Amino acid sequence: MEYAARADAGWQAKPPSPGPPDSSPGSARRMDSRPCCGDDTSGHHQNHDTGDRSSTMILPKVRDPRFVTIRRGGTLTDSNHHLLALWAASCAEHVLYLFESAQPEDLRPRQAIEHARAWVGGEVKMMQARAVGGHAMGAARDLRGAARYAAYAAGQAAVVAHVAAHELGAAAYAIKAARAAAPAGDGEAAGRLECQWQRDQLPEAIRDLVLDDQRLRNDICWSVFDC
């Protein structure tokens, strides 16, 4: 899907062109300026209202080759891609209760986390994980606060299978969920604790990569990685 700049909301989706997505090496680089915010129920990228329209989280303007798989011209190995997906799933799962306490009968975010892990295990295809991630983010749309952010975290975790750089989407939304759930005045401290917990879960093989990604993208991730 292509995106057109819009002054008031950052990005607006254009109708998708017919035909299958381009899986050539160059197709990854053509996604440089797409939002890293959410997917619609069909898995296509879509801007959404986070409550802070002036600070929409986006993928880097220049795609980091470290988060592009080797088969698409980058340097990311399959094993590290899997580790990124598993870490993102852990970040999302840690705050999932904030969604499920508000919407106990809605299984979409939980299913997204399960699909992230199932993709790593070879049990589902990338397109399946991406689609379920879109459904999870759809579960967030009528909500506000911690439940909304927790659902987005789960959706982001599932779409790491499609675009590895969504790993920070899962982490950032989980931190926003923790902040929103905290008592008044304690949000910043709760966010720092969540951020540190996430870092403690990082496998050694991807630790430096993720920490550097947090440093580079902190400004466009609501500065949630100041921990």
DSSP β-ladder status, 3-6 and 38-39: unpaired
Over the chain (227 residues), the average pLDDT of each successive run of 10 is 30 33 33 34 34 48 94 98 98 98 98 98 98 97 97 97 96 98 98 98 98 95 95
pLDDT at 183: 97
pLDDT at 13: 32
pLDDT at 125: 98
pLDDT at 205: 98
Residue 4 three-state SS: strand
Kindly report the pTM of this predicted structure: 0.78
pLDDT at 162: 96
Delimit the domains of the chain by residue range.
Answer: 3-221
pLDDT at 65: 97
pLDDT at 121: 98
3-class SS shares of the chain: helix, strand, coil, % to 5: 55, 5, 35
pLDDT at 51: 37
pLDDT at 47: 36
Characterise 62 by phi-psi region: left (phi > 0), alpha (psi -120 to 50), beta (else).
beta
CA angle 44/45/46 to nearest 5° reads 115
Among 80, 55, 9, 57, which residue's Cα sits nearest to residue 156?
57
pLDDT at 97: 98
